[in-house]
């Protein structure tokens, strides 16, 4: 079964930049965890081109997809950044506490600020410099 096949049957599909060493390693961990538990999650690496139809269907181009984590919900909504992480974590028993923590009214704005202003831009810039 390919990543695209998984995405068709998934409860939630994650779009990630697999060529990014940090992003790829983190999502690889989530994939292993979900696979060991047969969780219905899909994975689409935006760096290999196979995610293009899903990205196009949701109005996101490759560069935008590489800038931050995205998930597509079963009802077709596209979530990005902290909201995407929260949705992904909520589907994995080990990480549900983290989804709840990030969802707290005092925590979510701080998490968004850190991810949107520091982490995501720094990773994207490092990957661009490295040609990824």
pLDDT at residue 8 in the model: 56
Whether 102 and 69 have beta carbons less than 8 Å apart is answered as no
Local structure of residue 94 (DSSP, 8 states)? G
pLDDT at residue 131 in the model: 87
pLDDT (tens place) for every residue of the chain, 132 residues total: 344 444 456 689 999 999 999 999 999 999 999 999 999 999 999 998 889 999 999 999 999 999 999 999 999 999 999 999 999 999 999 999 999 999 999 999 999 999 999 999 999 999 999 988
pLDDT at residue 75 in the model: 93
- Burial letters 94-126, b for 16+ CB under 10 A, else e: ebeeebeebeeeeeeeebeeebeeeebeebbee
pLDDT at residue 81 in the model: 97
To which residue do tokens 């998930």 refer? 71
| Domain 3-129: assigned CATH number | 3.40.30
To which residue do tokens 């992480």 refer? 85
H or E segment and range at residue 3: helix 3-8
Domain assignments of the chain as residue spans, ordered by start: 3-129
Cα-based distances in Å from 97 to 39, 71, 88: 17, 19, 12
């Amino acid at each position: 079964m390919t990543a695209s096949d998984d995405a068709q049957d998934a409860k939630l599909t994650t779009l990630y930049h697999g060529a990014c060493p940090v992003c790829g390693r983190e999502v690889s961990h989530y994939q292993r965890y979900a696979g060991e538990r047969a969780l219905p999650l899909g994975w689409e690496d935006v760096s290999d081109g196979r995610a293009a139809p899903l990205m196009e269907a949701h109005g996101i181009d490759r560069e935008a997809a590489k800038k931050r984590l995205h998930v597509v919900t079963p009802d077709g909504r596209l979530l990005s950044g902290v909201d995407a992480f929260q949705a992904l974590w909520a589907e994995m028993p080990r990480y549900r506490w983290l989804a709840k923590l990030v969802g707290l009214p005092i925590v979510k704005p701080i998490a968004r600020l850190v991810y949107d202003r520091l982490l995501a831009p720094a990773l994207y810039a490092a990957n661009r410099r490295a040609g990824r």
